[in-house]
Structure 1
């Protein structure tokens, strides 16, 4: 494998990020499949089986039977679903962290080891959770404030102006999220802690956030298209048969797990490659220098 240390690029380029991302994926299929199975595919499969099982138990032909469902059973199922969801969320963060390590090792011309990637992800688990929690709470706060302020415009200026105000207020929130979009790669690579990593991410992304927005928008639209295609096939099967067989539920659970895993893999690798790209653009840092912290 050849190191990808290059001369300093003039600016963040979406095409180069995509090329490097798929190159990393193409060079490490076995590693990625192993990490995906451990942290994403199998957990997603368990969660999907649980959700589809509850879905299959609903009698859509008899709405009255759905209305008299035992409240204690609903509460129990909801609690289990929340627990599964939290576990899946933690594993998704571990998956991203392990892919960051694998991506930078690959770009450094080395062959990533699955054990090393898992070890780094586990070592950084709590700071990673901290970053995710801070970003989530900040996002919720920003949305609430934006909706509140936009709502104040409705009685005075009417709904159209309020909608414009909502969009105008949404832009700073999007820029804020883009500013911290490479916080986890910074944490994994530079070990700066929760707030140090977020501050470092804001510094690295400054001047490149619209390009990052374009990258993430493309990924988002691709994800929507893939998920809509899968939902269409699954929904069509349900509409034609009026119900889903056990085989149909199994196929749906597996298909959904595969789709979510592929999507998570591409996005996580692209974010890690974006971090490397940003460091090269901002600082002229070669990949060899990025790896020194682990030597």
Structure 2
């Protein structure tokens, strides 16, 4: 199937429907519950309200920043572990291979640090591109969109090799990926606004401080948004490989053996 705007969302929703229970368990253990625990700890211990990490950092000082740094590192590692696991599930399902949860988690733990390094590499390059012009920064990010799934799924690429592989897979589809990113960003912002309203309503209705209600609702929402983003990235990668490589079971799944 050719990769397109519609096919990306079609594969995303089909991937969720076919693997809902598995994704629910992985997301709950590796994303939703840790996000709730970390944000509750930051609220209860440091008084930090729900916000992005930059806003939290600016609102903290001294030892609070050390706790924020540690929490951010844990969150990032768990994100990479979950993204690796979801990518492996998506690839194996796409080629009709069975999924072993212990095997998936074992591979994901092994991949976590390299995936963080890939994220840092692409972030540095995107930062330099942004200093030159905004447009090259966005185009680089679209070209490197599936670098992390490529590292997970294709043996022997290495760190920068996975970025180059992403450049190959996304060639001819970067404007489509840009459009998908814009739509997803708008949907995410609308979801955040809904959570703010819901948190405010629960804060006044439940016997708990308003800040705590906001923290719990926003943490749950952030965890779900993060999980959806991982599944979408994996769906895009599988769609690009099927479109460009005509992905075969033996080739696609051998790295997971």
TM-score bracket, shorter-length normalisation: 0.7 to 0.9
Residue 250 of structure 1: CA displacement? 4.5
Instruction: Determine the structure 2 residue equivalent to 1:78.
Output: 65
Instruction: Determine the structure 2 residue equivalent to 1:87.
Output: 74
| Unmatched runs of 5 consecutive residues or more in structure 1 | 1-8, 58-72, 147-168
CA distance in 1: counterparts of 2:199 and 2:128, whole angstroms: 35
Asked if 1:43 corresponds to 2:34, the answer is yes
CA distance in 2: counterparts of 1:268 and 1:217, whole angstroms: 16
CA distance in 1: counterparts of 2:123 and 2:237, whole angstroms: 21
CA distance in 2: counterparts of 1:287 and 1:276, whole angstroms: 12
- What are the superposed Cα offsets for residues 82-110 of structure 1, whole Å, 9 maximum, x if unpaired? 21111111111111111101111222224
List structure 1 runs of 4+ shifted beyond 6 angstroms.
none
Instruction: Determine the structure 1 residue equivalent to 2:47.
Output: 55
Residue 178 of structure 1: CA displacement? 0.7
SS at 1:207 equivalent: coil
Give the counterpart of 2:224 among 242, 247, 262.
262
The size of the alignment, in residue pairs, is 245
Whether the 8 Å CA contact 1:94–1:121 is kept in 2: the answer is: yes
Whether the 8 Å CA contact 1:52–1:253 is kept in 2: the answer is: yes
Asked if 1:233 corresponds to 2:224, the answer is no
Residue 226 of structure 1: CA displacement? 0.4
TM-score, normalisation: structure 2: 0.85
Residue 249 of structure 1: CA displacement? 4.5
- What are the superposed Cα offsets for residues 123-147 of structure 1, whole Å, 9 maximum, x if unpaired? 212221110110122233233x23x
The structure with more radius of gyration: 1
CA distance in 2: counterparts of 1:90 and 1:26, whole angstroms: 26
Instruction: Determine the structure 2 residue equivalent to 1:293.
Output: 255
Residue 210 of structure 1: CA displacement? 0.6
TM-score, normalisation: structure 1: 0.75
- Please report the RMSD computed on the Cα atoms of aligned residues, expressed in angstroms: 2.5
CA distance in 1: counterparts of 2:104 and 2:211, whole angstroms: 33
Give the counterpart of 1:175 among 139, 152, 161.
139
